[in-house]
Structure 1
Amino acid sequence: LERVAYAVEQNDHRGTFYFAQLATVAPKGSKGLVGFHGAGGGGSMMSMDAVVNVGFTIANFTDTSGNPSASKVYRAARIILAQPELVGYFGSGSGVASQEQFWSAYGLAKAFWELALDIPAVIRLGGNTEDRAVEILTRISKLLRASVESYRKIDTPAFIAARFHELVAQTSGKKWKPRAPRVPQFVQSVGEADSFPHDSTAIMLPVKNGRVWIDTARWAEIRSAVQEHSGGLIVNVGGAPAPSLPPEEFASKDSELLACDVECRLAGVDGFYLQLDIPGLDELIGGMQ
């Protein structure tokens, strides 16, 4: 997992991402392994202490800071959730990060939905646009089987750790099983064309280390929402979806398109999906199952 994470960092220099696996088995007397996601070194250490103080064992240290892209946060969450036997997901950093928290919220929201998160998650997103970030996670929680609670900088690590303890206790010992992400039925993955009908209506637009899929059969129905949520990055040209920017510039807008993906999901709009590559991760997960 550390090699997979390092490759993510090497391929995306927007902000920083660090992942280190610490424990794979909870020791006797522990309340279980926790997937940890911090933002900012000092604040992350305080938050880790808060989790340990209520009886849990930290499975990993993760830091996404320096104004990371939504795509980088998404990949970080996917890697954290590639660890088996977790009893919950705990995210908390300095609380005063000078970065746009809503990008992190979008990245987490996409990962949680794709993996059908079914263990508790407590996320503290303190810093710029924290109210918007909390709103995004509150909305996505309604589409999940797990309790996902989000907090602001005024909520201390000790407070949210205590709340995390309560949520985990309510699950009666449920543990996480890593899984491949779910994707909409219309999506046709590169390299897997033979497994899809030849009359597929999906079109693909390349982005940085991934691709956007749009169901052209539903374009007339969804184009207004896609144009709005993409901020005009995808427009209607001759009755079909098309990027509004040159290919190289469009490809760099993966975070904005990730936000569009999440907003469409929240609005119940099917027919738009952003697929982001994490080389080597699915192979590792397959070996764990």
Structure 2
Amino acid sequence: MAKLLEYQGKEWLRKAGIPVPVGRAASSPEEAEQIAAEIGKPVAVKAQVQAGGRGKSGAVKLVDTPAEARAAAASILGTVIKGYPVRKVLVEEKLAIAREFYVTIIVNSARNARCPMMMFSTEGGMDIESVPEEKIFKLLISPLNGLETYDAVDMLVKAGIPNDQLMNFANVLVKLWHAYKKYDCFTLEINPLVLTANGELVAADCKMEVDNSSVYRHPEMGIEIARDFPHEPTELDRIGWGIEKTDTRGSGFVMSMGFDEKSPGYIGYHPIGGGSAMMGMDALNKVNLKPANYADTSGNPVASKVYRVAKVVLSQPNIDGYLLGGFMMANQEQWHHAHAVVKALREVLPKKPGLPCVLLLCGNKEEESLAILREGLSNVEGATRVEIYGREHVTDTDFIGQRLLALVKEYQAEKRK
């Protein structure tokens, strides 16, 4: 999913008619001080990263003056929270909180639901996992009919919201649904939804995730990469997303796996399909080799898309091998993979002579595909450690792992000379 930072999500909530605190993002302590001065009252300074638990890590500070906002921003900017460097802080007005609530809309993928679901709780401001089940109220939303005001009111009555506040809450919940649908969200969460001392409802936080398949419909959001990463996107991640963004014919997924480009034993990893990917990981793990990246070319992609993925995987510096892991009898026509891999290797191997390459490919058009690989890679400069296998080893992770390890050891020894 494409995750937005808090300040970005709040801007879309504001445009949907949901009140948010006054404030904006800052990239420097000086800018934070200026924003606090413009607000003219106590503010919250909050790290903007794709990670939870900011308050517990000291990345949210409440201050009274612009000078204190500057100092708070200086102490937060540049820190790292769960692997994410803090490059911006949100400076916004401090709210006079009377009560905190929790509301989210997610996709309920259960077989008896398969629709959006709203969850509401009077126990906001804390992890929803910590809230007792009886205090979480759930409402399935028809994708066709949407969330009606009376449905929201019914849920709020069950949650114990006072009669004089019912329409206030219901209006916010209905607006949240409209925002969820309009922006093609996968998740849209406000925690906490604050009831202020003067009776206003304000979104004090926002978690917004847009369905990656719908990002093309929202260029106004400026989403750079429509994927969820456990780290800040790398150059390889950006290149990988470029393949998917510009070509939707089958899958052509590439992302980094923490490859440091210096340690030995990393393999350019090119699996075909999810189950195949797991088996390939098993083959690598058994022989203590490590994937430099994750990839996937399934769903019958065209050869040009497979080629782009293979070329990215092979072009990573200092890898000790390449594994095409077709650990499945695929019904897609595998000669597209064969043509693509031949082209990529013919371009890369002369620059990386002797690079170990174990190619496992089987399924539809298998004989033709293996013939393309063998003929296309014969007499190629640098192709001295290329082994090609078909269905006889489709589930044999032990064999594939051992063959790759043997070639890698030869290659490493050669590089040390």
Normalising by structure 2, we get a TM-score of: 0.40
- Counterpart of 2:285 (choices 21, 30, 52) is 52
Counterpart amino acid of residue 71 in structure 1 = S
- Counterpart of 2:255 (choices 20, 35, 40) is 20
SS in 2 for 1:16: coil
Matched, 1:165 2:405: yes
Deviation at 1:174, TM superposition (A): 5.6
Deviation at 1:27, TM superposition (A): 9.0
1:174–1:140 distance in 2 versus 1, CA, 3 Å? farther
- Counterpart of 2:270 (choices 14, 37, 45) is 37
Q: Name the counterpart of 2:245.
A: 10
Counterpart amino acid of residue 121 in structure 1 = C
- Counterpart of 2:387 (choices 149, 152, 162) is 149
1:174–1:22 distance in 2 versus 1, CA, 3 Å? farther
SS in 1 for 2:338: helix
Q: Name the counterpart of 1:123.
A: 359
SS in 2 for 1:46: helix
* Aligned pairs (5 A) from 1:1-289: 1-25=236-260, 32-115=265-348, 116=350, 117-118=352-353, 119-142=355-378, 143-146=380-383, 147-155=385-393, 156-173=396-413
Counterpart amino acid of residue 317 in structure 2 = P
Tell whether the 8 Å contact from 2:363 to 2:391 is kept in structure 1 after alignment.
yes
Q: How far does the alpha carbon of each residue in 1:101-138 deviate from its partner, in whole angstroms, 9 at most, with x for none?
A: 11101001001111225201001112111121111111
Q: How far does the alpha carbon of each residue in 1:53-90 deviate from its partner, in whole angstroms, 9 at most, with x for none?
A: 11111111110000111001100011112211100001
Deviation at 1:173, TM superposition (A): 4.1
1:27–1:75 distance in 2 versus 1, CA, 3 Å? closer
Greater RCO, 1 or 2 (C-alpha within 8 Å, sep 6+): 1
Question: Structure 2: how far apart are the matches of 1:83 and 1:154?
Answer: 30
Counterpart amino acid of residue 171 in structure 1 = Y
Question: Structure 2: how far apart are the matches of 1:129 and 1:157?
Answer: 22
Q: Runs of 5+ in structure 2 lacking a partner?
A: 1-235
SS in 1 for 2:297: strand
Question: Structure 1: how far apart are the matches of 2:365 and 2:414?
Answer: 33
Counterpart amino acid of residue 129 in structure 1 = K
* Identical residues among aligned pairs (%): 38
Deviation at 1:141, TM superposition (A): 2.5
Tell whether the 8 Å contact from 1:95 to 1:124 is kept in structure 2 after alignment.
no
Q: Runs of 5+ in structure 1 lacking a partner?
A: 176-289
Counterpart amino acid of residue 357 in structure 2 = A
Tell whether the 8 Å contact from 1:137 to 1:148 is kept in structure 2 after alignment.
no
Deviation at 1:52, TM superposition (A): 1.6
Q: How far does the alpha carbon of each residue in 1:169-225 deviate from its partner, in whole angstroms, 9 at most, with x for none?
A: 2223467xxxxxxxxxxxxxxxxxxxxxxxxxxxxxxxxxxxxxxxxxxxxxxxxxx
CA RMSD, 1 decimal? 1.9
Question: Structure 1: how far apart are the matches of 2:286 and 2:261?
Answer: 15
Question: Structure 2: how far apart are the matches of 1:27 and 1:86?
Answer: 9
Question: Structure 1: how far apart are the matches of 2:303 and 2:288?
Answer: 31
Question: Structure 1: how far apart are the matches of 2:257 and 2:279?
Answer: 16
Q: Name the counterpart of 2:3.
A: none
Question: Structure 1: how far apart are the matches of 2:315 and 2:334?
Answer: 23
SS in 2 for 1:159: helix
